[in-house]
Structure 1
Amino acid sequence: MLSPFCLGEAKPAPMLVTDHLLDLCEAHGCKALFGIPDPQFFALFDAAHARGWQVVAPHHEAAGGFMAEGWARITGKPALCVASLGPGMANLAPAVAHARAEGGKVLFLGGRRAGMSKAQTGRFQHAEHFPAMAQHAGWSAQASNGVGAVAAVEAALHGMACGQICAAFIELEPQALAGEVIWPYGAPVQAGMPDLAPALALIAQAQSPIILAGHGVHTAPAGEALRDLAQKLACPVVQTPSAMAVVEGLESVSFPYGFSPVTRAVVEASDLVIALGTQLGDQLHFGQNRHWKAGREARRWIRIDRDPAMLTGADVAVPGDLAQVLPALAQACPQRQAQPQLAQWSTAHATHRADQVAAARAFPAQPIHPARLVVEACQVMPDGTILARDGGASVLFQLAYAQGAPRDVLWSQNSGHLGTGLPMAIGAMLAAPDRPALLLTGDSALLFHLAELETAARLGLPLVVAVAVDHQWGLEVGMSRLNLGPSAEAGLGWSRATRFDLLAQGFGCDGTYVDDADALAPALRAAFTAALAKRRPQVLHVAIDPKANAENMPALGEFASWFAA
């Protein structure tokens, strides 16, 4: 909710630019700042700290951006991330691109040397980063003075509040944060409610509707409205690979797309798809191919998204913020009777998951099969645990063998960016300090931002990290063997002397080595107990079977279909 001064009246007296920026952020629910302090932003960091903000310095600018995205993902509010000029901006670029791809509500501020022209060369810590950053971001601006800085921040935050933009980037020259200005704050203009009559008409005609819930449902956030709509329609909810979190109350009617034979039956039986906050891209086979082929001529589509570019090909396109549109649609829909097959599908999916557990536990205890790690970790994690995923082969095993109904799942779904799991988990836990988190990650992915284990320890976070260790780029090894033969592994392995339990101890965490599958569940339970009791991250080095990880990846055909033309 906007604070009173954001209703069109100017502050009665000049105020520091940094205070203006922090007031605007607070008015939009943002009280978290991530970044490595730099002289240009010292005053901003100090002022935020004095106000009681969560101020977190990571060990890499990109990690700070991923942390901000994790915080925003859990709260539904924007987070603030700052990077210094030159190399700081260059390091931040992956996080800006990632936030845009994943719909992260992050306001990025970047520094710039004053008075630099394109004709000047040889300047220390200076490069023309803005054109590239503007391409990565969903919205961008530059400011060389205080008025410009306040105007740009206000516009970015208002755009996020209206659901019109996600990742925003503003480049600031040093003088933009200096001095005092008077600024007439304006309330964000809420978009009007789109016409829902065409969508309601299609829903009334449908015999077997399904809801296709995308990542946008969780970034809006609009989980409660999704539950209301699904219960009104008494229909299945198909989760895209980017939206595997389960909304409370929908556990028995939620089905993961592509990784369950039951979901394929659900999709094939549908005559109407209500697609919420999702692209119809590679992972969903463009809504036409693979699992959609059966019945596609008669199937109708309603698409709802804040981005009009995502609405192409729909029978009914509804542009708008899911947080605004979905509650109205749910309220307007009449109560329907459950589809006859729904109970059968729910039972079949529960049986499928039980079969997965049995299959995973049938593998030998040594070396540990990756599927066993996924099953035991999912079954042990306490209720309310935030689940973060990272890796290549590791994530494929998680998608195929997932258990339980986690309320929040963090994963680089759309961009496939490795190394995001640990920093996103840290940001998410700062937003929900009383909830434990589990990071299920491959070893290669964890090494991207391994130093952030120190950040997690410094912050006293009850994080459990289960590392599937095979000392190789497992997914790439498997694909290389598949395409070039069993000996084609150039550059895909690394030191087998690496011990993540010992590395964790060096960063101030507790570390445990596990090489027997029968010890996994006890070790994981002990890790959660210790993490919560000691407020200290627990890292499990899980020695998995390298051959199984590379050559027995589940649903490899499903994964490969994401790259089909």
Structure 2
Amino acid sequence: MSVHVYERVLQLLEAEGIKTLFGIPDPSFFNMFIRAEQRGWQVIAPHHEEAGAFMAEGLWRMTGTPGVVVGNQGPGVANLVPAAINAAKENAPVIFIGGQRAQIAAQRVRRGRIQYTHQYRYFEEAVKYVGVIQYPEQTDEIIREAFRQALSGTPGPVYIEIPMNAMQAELGELPPPAAPEQYRLVHQPANQQAIDAAAELIRRAQMPLLLIGQGAFTARAHDALAVLAHNLQSPVIHTYPVSSFLAGVEDRTFPCGFSPAGVEAIVNSDLVIAIGTEIGEPVHHGVAGHWAKGNTGRQWIHVESDPLSIGVNRHIDVPLVGDLRDIVPQLNAALKDTPRQRANAVDRWIEMHAEFKTAQRLAAPSGQDLIHPARLMVEATGAIPKDAVFVRDGGATSIYTWTYSQVSPKDSIWNQNFGHLGTGLPYAIGAQLAVGNDRRVVLISGDSAFLFHTSELETAVRKNLPVICIVASDYAWGVEVRGYRGMVGENSPETEAHWGKQVRLDKVAEGYGAHGEFVEREEDIAPAIARALASGKPAVIQIPIDPVANARDVPGHEEYSTWYNDFFY
């Protein structure tokens, strides 16, 4: 039987394991939405296309399968552009699909074309591939090329435009869509010679360490990485503070630069195995900061899918080019017969880090009229479920979690490369769709970041997604206040709201049909979280915090500020 283009697109997406569609219905996509629901898809209509794209990215982060979002011609597509830029910086293979007027509009010389612009040009700078289905017969090849580009080398977003005349066109009888391995590279192991060289370096090393970036976790390679960490018996260094943790090695996982134990582990290392990381500015490209101390002759193994990335930021002794999901099992197989003994220094660093975390927890100011943000983090993260998906948003709020978080989450989601505020609630919704009812998703956000997409609380209520949102409210652009005051003095009217005009986000949540809590005492934080979890509903727990401390006392600011320093070039 013949099929329409909109249904063929769904078939091609299903071949890639996709059955969730984000987007706001419009005539361009009415038939696609209806057929998707008939085929058993989850169809999620957000209140803003940008938020829908962040939801798609959140789903990808928890599944390893690209998320798909559509935008309707004109303003709908325009709303997707910031999210596409963000996805590019986050190396997220989000599939953006844009509707467009019939292709005849592209060549008209008459003025006044409603909602028509050259949309694809918006995306050309940001995404890895732009394809316009001008002719229905191109549908398969353009969709396949989009996936080929999105998932080859460094992952990234792509944009596909489908004009109305092509979307509604009827194709002839077609064969079933090809499986991914029939048209693109699915597995990419490293060559055996490189694996053997890496294994030999590891065997000879006295003090190896694993440097793990967020890419290792978005690849959903937790289990294989945990086996490697067990084989190495080494410290694990997070490229960003409070990333996802590997099961069984939580006690010897340290943030780069934000823990004395992590610094000592770096300084004393003689071999670094870098996986899922660009070796970027937060780790000083592996050549400066802490890496310029101690054993500066340490050797490096880098697992990287893009061969053009090898050796750019620093010299790599053994590059392992390929997909980490293939390469890490290769390393595990090569090392399985040569188990390592844990060095005494690692046990000392474990104890040192535990003492550091205890000292930080005890140092969090307590008993103040306004809750100190450090105390909020201690109380809140100590009360969330141990298996929760931990989502963060905001400037100062996210930075406070680096020092004071009491959880070691298997999955932690943060907009770490681009720093786009407002991703938290949409990420949380996408993550909750991924885990279903098996786990809870908990967001900790600043109020300014949370207000970007508060309307998506209604989406969570409508779809019965019980995300918990803990909102630290200083009624200001917290971390920006610090910079503003440092530049022009105490008066910063554009970054701070009037304290007497607080927005009651808990009441906003209740208006959407969610659970709301307003907490003004630190001892009430944990009980409020327990009630929110028990409600089984989306929830907002609003906690007013000390705005002066939120701007002035941001922990680790000295280390964080070095990320923007060009001192090592």
Q: What is the TM-score when the length of structure 2 is the normalising length?
A: 0.92
Q: Relative to 1, partners in 2 of residues 1:175 and 1:239: Cα closer, same or farther, differing over 3 Å?
A: same
> Which residue is equivalent to 1:211?
210
Displacement of 1:163 in angstroms is 5.9
Displacement of 1:159 in angstroms is 4.7
- Separation in 1 of the partners of 2:339 and 2:118? 56
> Which residue is equivalent to 1:378?
381
Equivalent position amino acid for 2:159 in 1 = F
1:263 counterpart = 2:262: yes
Equivalent position amino acid for 1:403 in 2 = Q
Equivalent position amino acid for 1:283 in 2 = P
- The unaligned stretches of length 5 or more in structure 2 are none
> Which residue is equivalent to 1:245?
244
Equivalent position amino acid for 2:451 in 1 = L
Identity of aligned residues (%): 39
CA contact (8 A) 1:527 1:538 kept: yes
> Which residue is equivalent to 1:502?
507
- Separation in 1 of the partners of 2:123 and 2:107? 16
The alignment yields a C-alpha RMSD, in angstroms, of 1.9
SS at match of 1:325: helix
- Separation in 2 of the partners of 1:247 and 1:345? 17
> Which residue is equivalent to 2:160?
170
SS at match of 2:185: coil
Q: Relative to 1, partners in 2 of residues 1:357 and 1:175: Cα closer, same or farther, differing over 3 Å?
A: same
List aligned pairs for 1:163-562, cutoff 5 A.
165-178=155-168, 179-183=170-174, 185-186=177-178, 187=182, 188-195=184-191, 196-241=195-240, 244-295=243-294, 297-312=296-311, 313=314, 314-333=316-335, 334-360=338-364, 362-434=365-437, 435-487=439-491, 489-495=492-498, 496-530=501-535, 532=536, 536-562=537-563
SS at match of 2:243: coil
> Which residue is equivalent to 1:3?
none
- Separation in 2 of the partners of 1:430 and 1:243? 23
Q: Relative to 1, partners in 2 of residues 1:61 and 1:183: Cα closer, same or farther, differing over 3 Å?
A: same
| Stretch moving more, 235-244 or 428-437 | 235-244
CA contact (8 A) 2:189 2:323 kept: no
CA deviation profile, 1:45-64 (whole Å, cap 9, x unmatched): 11111111110000111000
> Which residue is equivalent to 1:136?
126
1:47 counterpart = 2:1: no
| Stretch moving more, 342-351 or 437-446 | 342-351
Displacement of 1:366 in angstroms is 2.0
SS at match of 1:116: helix
CA contact (8 A) 2:98 2:160 kept: yes
- Separation in 2 of the partners of 1:331 and 1:182? 46
Q: Relative to 1, partners in 2 of residues 1:162 and 1:137: Cα closer, same or farther, differing over 3 Å?
A: closer
- Separation in 1 of the partners of 2:19 and 2:214? 24
Aligned length: 547
CA contact (8 A) 2:284 2:563 kept: yes
CA contact (8 A) 1:143 1:172 kept: yes
Q: Relative to 1, partners in 2 of residues 1:309 and 1:243: Cα closer, same or farther, differing over 3 Å?
A: farther
SS at match of 2:83: helix
CA contact (8 A) 2:268 2:295 kept: no
> Which residue is equivalent to 1:6?
none
SS at match of 2:105: coil
Equivalent position amino acid for 1:277 in 2 = G
> Which residue is equivalent to 2:62?
74
| Stretch moving more, 275-284 or 235-244 | 235-244
SS at match of 1:382: coil
- Separation in 2 of the partners of 1:94 and 1:331? 42
Equivalent position amino acid for 1:193 in 2 = P
SS at match of 1:265: helix
Equivalent position amino acid for 1:102 in 2 = E
- Separation in 2 of the partners of 1:342 and 1:14? 64
CA contact (8 A) 1:215 1:243 kept: no
- Separation in 2 of the partners of 1:258 and 1:176? 53
- Separation in 1 of the partners of 2:187 and 2:370? 56
CA contact (8 A) 1:79 1:107 kept: yes
CA contact (8 A) 1:17 1:181 kept: no
> Which residue is equivalent to 2:21?
33
CA contact (8 A) 1:160 1:166 kept: yes
Q: Relative to 1, partners in 2 of residues 1:322 and 1:131: Cα closer, same or farther, differing over 3 Å?
A: same
- The unaligned stretches of length 5 or more in structure 1 are 1-12
| Stretch moving more, 126-135 or 190-199 | 190-199
> Which residue is equivalent to 1:9?
none
> Which residue is equivalent to 1:116?
105
Q: Relative to 1, partners in 2 of residues 1:256 and 1:164: Cα closer, same or farther, differing over 3 Å?
A: closer
Equivalent position amino acid for 1:253 in 2 = R
Displacement of 1:160 in angstroms is 4.9
> Which residue is equivalent to 2:81?
93
Displacement of 1:295 in angstroms is 3.3
Q: Relative to 1, partners in 2 of residues 1:541 and 1:145: Cα closer, same or farther, differing over 3 Å?
A: same
- Separation in 2 of the partners of 1:526 and 1:355? 29
Q: Relative to 1, partners in 2 of residues 1:445 and 1:164: Cα closer, same or farther, differing over 3 Å?
A: closer
CA contact (8 A) 2:516 2:541 kept: yes
CA contact (8 A) 1:163 1:306 kept: yes
Displacement of 1:201 in angstroms is 3.0
- Separation in 1 of the partners of 2:309 and 2:288? 18
Displacement of 1:309 in angstroms is 3.5
- Separation in 2 of the partners of 1:283 and 1:93? 26
Q: What is the TM-score when the length of structure 1 is the normalising length?
A: 0.93
CA contact (8 A) 1:28 1:161 kept: no
- Separation in 2 of the partners of 1:373 and 1:363? 9
Equivalent position amino acid for 2:419 in 1 = G
